[in-house]
Structure 1
Amino acid sequence: MYRARTDSWYLERIVFVIAGVVVLGGTILGIVHHPYWFALPILAGLNMLIFAFTGFCPAAIVLYKLGARPMCGRPEA
């Protein structure tokens, strides 16, 4: 079983938090306010697919420039 490290807030973990908030928030707003809010989880899903196939993630670029550092590619400490 794979379990990710949770001892620090590295870039990949922050991206997952943002994606989760967008998906849950858009779904809840779509249910209680207006169906147009369902566009948020759809766009988040498309962004995740684009990242899976190309490695390009706009949120990761912004977070990296703000100082978040990636865990992937680091040697184990």
Structure 2
Amino acid sequence: MKYIIWILFIATIGSIITGFVIDAEYSQKLIGFGTIGLFFIVFPLFSYYRWKDKKLKDYMLTQENLDKMRENQKRNKY
């Protein structure tokens, strides 16, 4: 999955750069397809890949997590 994301990322960035560099009728389409591919394919795949084994509860501000943060601040206070 990691390599697929890298290949798609390089392809979309390559498409955007190619669209800026070449002077052809379809250069704006290359830029557009590269941008769409980046935001609708690469970023969601990357987000899924990074979050697939994580617990969402660890990142939410619940009362339990707030209490833990306050205890850590009291212990680490100089």
Higher helix share: 2
Q: Which band: TM-score by shorter chain?
A: 0.3 to 0.5
Q: What is the TM-score when the length of structure 1 is the normalising length?
A: 0.44
Normalised TM-score (structure 2): 0.43
